[in-house]
């Protein structure tokens, strides 16, 4: 999986912009709106730092965790900022400090042990701390499934292949969606760990969640 992200690191943001018709920026603003300022933020699956414009100025320290060294290299080049600390590790390996906010944007379905990541977040996130999640979840209806399969088969995979030269990466992204849980199941599982949902929005398979640790 790490190789997939290394292969597409240079064009990753461009492809995301095109396949969402620029709406990815709107979704990011939705995810980070009305979140209070705090000291420490940990972003898991930080990628190239697309979320940093929405985080900088709100936290004293931002740990950007990602297993792809090439993704982090691009992040560091774009955001050479003293509050930004890149960490080249799997999400399962790094979460051993107290945090006021944890961000996971399009990352949960790629973790090899999602339960361990959730347990780490629960353990190290301060009471009252925020967990912000955005992802593409397993379709919850036949209509959603049909749309997603059509969208990926005829648009996302061919376009990603054309721009990055890596068909396998975008085929993997498609497969990872169907090995994930549905949006409603994810909320159910995470609330059992002691989180309260403050905001929940979904459209087709895309979901945005803002949760607070009780």
Give per-residue pLDDT as tens, 79-113: 888 899 999 999 998 778 899 999 999 999 989 89
pLDDT in tens, the chain (214 residues): 445 455 565 666 777 777 777 788 999 999 999 888 999 999 999 999 999 999 998 999 999 999 998 889 989 988 888 899 999 999 998 778 899 999 999 999 989 899 999 999 999 999 999 999 999 999 988 988 998 899 888 888 887 788 877 778 778 788 888 889 999 999 999 999 999 999 999 988 999 999 999 9
Q: How many domains does the chain have?
A: 1
Contact 121, 97 (CB under 8 A): no
Tokens of 66: 């990602």
What is the enclosing helix (H) or strand (E) of 105? strand 99-105
Q: What's the pLDDT tens digit per position in 110-127?
A: 898 999 999 999 999 999
Contact 82, 56 (CB under 8 A): no
Q: What does the pLDDT read at residue 66?
A: 94
Q: What does the pLDDT read at residue 4?
A: 46
Q: Which CATH number covers residue 83?
A: 3.40.50.150
d(CA 28, CA 54): 8
Residues spanned by the domain of 6: 2-213
d(CA 154, CA 57): 40
Task: Provide Rg for the chain, Cα atoms.
Answer: 16
Tokens of 171: 């085929």
Helices 157-164 and 167-178 meet at what angle, rounded to 10? 150
């Amino acid at each position: 999986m790490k190789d997939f992200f290394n292969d597409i690191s240079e064009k990753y943001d461009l492809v995301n912009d095109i396949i969402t018709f620029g709406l990815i920026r709107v979704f990011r603003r939705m995810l980070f709106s009305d979140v209070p300022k705090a000291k420490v933020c940990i972003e898991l699956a930080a990628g190239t730092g697309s979320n940093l414009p929405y985080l900088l100025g709100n936290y004293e320290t931002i740990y950007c965790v990602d297993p792809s060294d090439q993704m982090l290299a691009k992040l560091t080049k774009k955001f050479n900022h003293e509050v930004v600390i890149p960490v080249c590790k799997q999400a399962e390996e790094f979460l051993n400090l107290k945090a006021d906010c944890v961000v996971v944007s399009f990352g949960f379905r790629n973790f090899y042990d999602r339960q361990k990541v959730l347990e780490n977040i629960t353990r190290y996130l301060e009471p009252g701390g925020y967990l912000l999640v955005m992802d593409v979840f397993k379709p919850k209806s036949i209509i959603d499934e049909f749309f997603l399969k059509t969208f990926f088969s005829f648009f996302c995979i061919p376009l990603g292949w054309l721009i990055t030269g890596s068909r396998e990466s975008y085929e993997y992204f498609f497969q990872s969606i169907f090995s994930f849980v549905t949006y409603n199941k994810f909320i159910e599982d995470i609330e059992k760990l002691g989180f309260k949902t403050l905001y929940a929005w979904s459209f087709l398979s895309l979901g945005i969640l803002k949760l607070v640790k009780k």
